[in-house]
Amino acid sequence: MNPRSIRQACAAAGTASLVGLVLVAPSAGAAPSSDPSPGTAATTQEAAAQRAQAGLYTGHVEVVRGDAADPEVLTGTVFHDKDEDSTQDRREKGVAGVQVSNGRDVVTTDGRGRYSLPAFDDMTVFVTQPAGYQVPVDEHAIAQFSYNHSPEGSPDLRYGGLEPTGPLPQAVNFPLGKSKATGKAEQSCPIAADTQTYDLTQVGYARDGAVADLMDREDYASCGILLLGDNVGDDLSLYPELKDLYAAANGPVRMAPGNHDMDYDAADDAHALDTFRQQVGPGYFSYDVGQAHVVVLDNIVYNGAKPDGKNGGYAEKVDEQQLAWLEADLAEVPRNKLVVVAAHAPIVDHRQVITDNAPELYDVLRGRNAVTVGGHTHMLENLLPGDTRAEWQAKGVAELEHTQLVAGAVSGDWYSGGLDEQGLPFAYMADGARPGVLTLELDGNEFSERYTIRGESDDLQLALGVNTPHWRDWAADALAWRDGGKEGDAPALGDERLVSTDDLAGDSWLTANFYAGSSDAQVEVSIDGGAQVAAEHTQPMAGEALNNGWEFSDPRAATRNLLTSGSVTRSNAHLWRLPLPADLEAGTHTATVTATDHHGREFTEALRFTVKDERPAATTTVLRGEVPSEDAPVQPLPSGPADPAETGGR
């Protein structure tokens, strides 16, 4: 455990002023500007020192202009950039045994660090960073390890796409800095999914929320941050602001593409990531850190623009070219090495198979020591080898061979819901979790995971509630009221922790939303100091069909979203419940919940609730723990941003 102190965010309620410089992306191969941007100025001296210690420096891929010896073959060198000037000097040796790819073929550098690859138009060439080395970064901390070859540039695209590069250059050389830090077995690797800002206000929410937490951390200088897609929300002109958000990172920033990072006016998938490639880098790639091989995939296949130029939709799939590349990439990776496969869409989640050709991808990974990580769903999940679901089996996935993590979201539930005391949307996600960042902790070829809620300690992993017949009736009415335009007064719930004797005569449960929970987790409840009793996992992952309904909901999160905006789910991969004893006496009781995850880490929270013979008529709703006085009644919170269902869903 690495408990962190609670950071006080300094957000202005609802309005986020953003001071930033809109930077034009340099032409491929051009050296980055030496003028500092506001994001660079925000980098602290401590972060700079941590970068230097990890072997990180500002630089770029070296493009040697001039005619290629063979216009159908790209050549170059991967070299140790000792003087950190991004240019291979006579005394700077090549690095042998490093993988370089054009997205189709994978080759390994010879004893002098040289490579040659078949060349074709609109390819992105990239190097796989070896452990013990670090690729340079640009002025926004974005890792620099690729070159776009697009002689004519993109077709006419709203956000620019790829700039023309002209003929194949004489050489493309990839600089590396030596780094003992990236060779260490222990690594902390934050994975920040779905920053997904649609406007500058949301950029401000991200800046003062989960991104600020990352900028405060000092544990990832060697591994860096992986942004797991939907980095922006359709408006690709926000990429300069996105880069500025993460520019103070103390390690390299890499990005996967998501379905909201595409050029929607592209005619087909071939050009759907042109602006992403110009602004960030390749859609798929790999790199090594410690004893892990990280593979980033693009599993969003664009259908092409509609006749009006708008979003034509997409499939969640790994195309055949990538599958072939992945096989070639992994052919150079020892079988016992940890392989982290990250893509925007999960391969599966607790509800369904998401990546359409999941069986083919699993075939490539079969027998590997692997973990798959996804975002996209704005939920948090920890699915283990051996887990199985009826819905998976129907799609050809008998059971999981590898852990599947779903990484939550920086944006939470699309920045929805009321605003907290720091001016940030509560944004409870569909599984009841709050905005935050997943971190993979690597130790050799083993890993553990932790999810840090925005502005909180790593110790906060439990949210408790009470699910009663009264609450379920209210939830159905509240959803109809909310979805009907919120006409008239909201249905009154009253005290959400009040349980009547009539409730106890029906099905009433204490609920424990255990964010780190998996099928191997244990959740036990003690009421009023009595014996601990094991709670029931609502999705046991034993081959059952989805358990879905208000009785499988997290009432704490659902209540808040029903009164404002945001997703309200009736299924959850990490919810436990314990039936409340029918003979509980009237009065106030304390439930103490102890949850143990599959790594043996233990978390404890307590909830006080009241039993009353008769439920008094409810005239308002009490939301506990989010208002200055816990017992003060409050009216429904003001609406936050639009529901995801109203803005295109995932």
Q: Where are the beta strands (DSSP E) in 82-185?
A: 99-101, 106-108, 114-118, 123-127, 133-134, 146-149, 171-178
The full length of the chain comes to 650
Q: What is the mean pLDDT of the chain?
A: 89
Helices (H), 97-223: 180-183, 200-208, 210-216
- Quick: pLDDT tens for 69-86: 999 999 999 999 999 999
Residue 604 pLDDT: 97
Same domain, 391 and 477: no
Out of 400, 432, 453, pick the residue that ends a domain.
453
Residue 277 pLDDT: 98
Phi, psi of 429 (to 5 degrees): -80, 175
Among the listed residues 480, 473, 481, 525, the one whose alpha carbon sits nearest the alpha carbon of residue 500:
473
The answer as to whether 26 is a domain residue is no
Same domain, 277 and 313: yes
User: CB-based burial of residue 598 (10 Å sphere; 0-12 exposed, 13-18 middle, 19+ buried)?
Assistant: middle
What is the rounded distance in angstroms from the CA atom of residue 411 to the CA atom of residue 454?
Answer: 10
The answer as to whether 520 is a domain residue is yes
Residue 569 pLDDT: 83
Q: How confident is the model at residue 46 (pLDDT cuts 50, 70, 90)?
A: low
Same domain, 511 and 404: no
Residue 44 pLDDT: 53
Same domain, 469 and 438: no
Long-range CB pairs of 398-403 (<8 Å, 24+ gap) are 400/348, 401/362, 401/365, 401/366, 402/362, 402/365, 402/368, 402/370, 402/371, 402/372, 403/371, 403/372
Q: How confident is the model at residue 165 (pLDDT cuts 50, 70, 90)?
A: very high
The answer as to whether 406 is a domain residue is yes
Same domain, 217 and 237: yes
pTM for this model (two decimals): 0.89
The answer as to whether 29 is a domain residue is no
Same domain, 446 and 517: no
| Start-to-end Cα distance in the chain | 32
Residue 636 pLDDT: 37
Same domain, 406 and 511: no
Question: The CATH number of the domain where 473 resides is what?
Answer: 2.60.40.10
Q: How confident is the model at residue 631 (pLDDT cuts 50, 70, 90)?
A: very low
The answer as to whether 599 is a domain residue is yes
The answer as to whether 228 is a domain residue is yes
Among the listed residues 169, 179, 241, the one whose alpha carbon sits nearest the alpha carbon of residue 211:
241
- Domain, as residue range, for 509: 462-646
- How many distinct structural domains can be found in the chain? 2
Same domain, 309 and 266: yes
Out of 404, 421, 453, pick the residue that ends a domain.
453
Instruction: Determine the 3-state secondary structure of 511 from DSSP.
Output: strand
Could you tell me if 402 and 368 are in contact, meaning their C-beta atoms sit under 8 angstroms apart?
Answer: yes
Element (H, E) at 189: strand 186-192
What is the rounded distance in angstroms from the CA atom of residue 66 to the CA atom of residue 627?
Answer: 66
Residue 48 pLDDT: 63
Residue 617 pLDDT: 84
For the chain, the maximum distance between any two Cα atoms, rounded to a whole number of angstroms, is: 88
The answer as to whether 85 is a domain residue is no
Residue 243 pLDDT > 50 = yes
Q: Rounded to 10 degrees, what is the CA torsion of 200, 206, 208, 214?
A: -140
Among the listed residues 86, 171, 91, the one whose alpha carbon sits nearest the alpha carbon of residue 137:
86
Q: How confident is the model at residue 47 (pLDDT cuts 50, 70, 90)?
A: low
Question: The CATH number of the domain where 400 resides is what?
Answer: 3.60.21.10
Among the listed residues 374, 403, 380, 389, the one whose alpha carbon sits nearest the alpha carbon of residue 463:
380
- Quick: pLDDT tens for 396-421: 999 999 999 999 999 999 999 989 98
What is the rounded distance in angstroms from the CA atom of residue 486 to the CA atom of residue 294?
Answer: 47
Helices (H), 42-141: 45-53
DSSP state of 252: -
What is the rounded distance in angstroms from the CA atom of residue 482 to the CA atom of residue 621?
Answer: 15
What is the rounded distance in angstroms from the CA atom of residue 138 to the CA atom of residue 161?
Answer: 19
Out of 401, 426, 453, pick the residue that ends a domain.
453
Give the rounded distance of the alpha carbon of 428 from its chain centre. Answer: 15
The answer as to whether 104 is a domain residue is no
316, β-bridge pairs = 300
Same domain, 632 and 499: yes
- Quick one: the chain helix, strand, coil %, rounded to 5? 15, 30, 55
Among the listed residues 239, 263, 615, 541, the one whose alpha carbon sits nearest the alpha carbon of residue 389:
541
Same domain, 269 and 360: yes
What six digits make up the tokens of 420? Answer: 């907290």
Same domain, 447 and 551: no
Same domain, 448 and 473: no
Instruction: Determine the 3-state secondary structure of 577 from DSSP.
Output: strand
